[in-house]
Amino acid sequence: MTRQILDKLRDTVDRGDSWRPHDDPEHPNPLAGVALEWSSGRTKDGTRECDILVVRDDEDKVWSVWTWHAALRAQIVGDKDNAVPVERRPVQAGDFLAIRWIGKFPRQDGDGETHRYRTAIERPAVGEGSKLATDDGAFLDSLERYGQALVENPEPLAPAAANDDIPF
């Protein structure tokens, strides 16, 4: 009980290390864990602000996921360009998630490169949130399942083909 309280306090003041698998091969890829909270941060020169998702992984390490890249932002914030209220974002505190950085790819307009990500998110059932801090294995089982799915299928899914049989 005391450890859980201290962990929560530590996480409140410490966003952990910035998760940068594109710059550091030692960073987990995929990052699988539980979302702790949303935060925000600014560039070193203070000119730009960014949403940050704080995540605790299955090894109890805390990471901050900065949403600078449009593809990642669209998947976990809900909009690649505009602010989305925290309560309407696809990822909420207590959710299980896995994020895989797939790589850099040429932009469709041919102007530079873009980062691509693949995410999996699972919201715990009502009452399951209290199990997150226990050692019953439910947390790790869920992380292993989503982490393995991302390892087996690292490429993003292709868009669905158009279906002219739909009557509307």
Q: Give every residue of the chain whose pLDDT is below 50, as ranges.
A: 130-140, 142, 145-166, 168
Q: What is the pLDDT of residue 46?
A: 80
DSSP class per residue in 140-155: HHHHHHHHHHHHH--S
The one-letter amino acid code at 139 reads F
Q: What is the pTM of this model?
A: 0.67
Q: What is the pLDDT of residue 53?
A: 95
DSSP class per residue in 81-106: SS---GGGSS--TT-EEEEEEEEEEE
Q: What is the pLDDT of residues 52-71, one digit of tens each?
A: 999 999 999 999 999 999 99
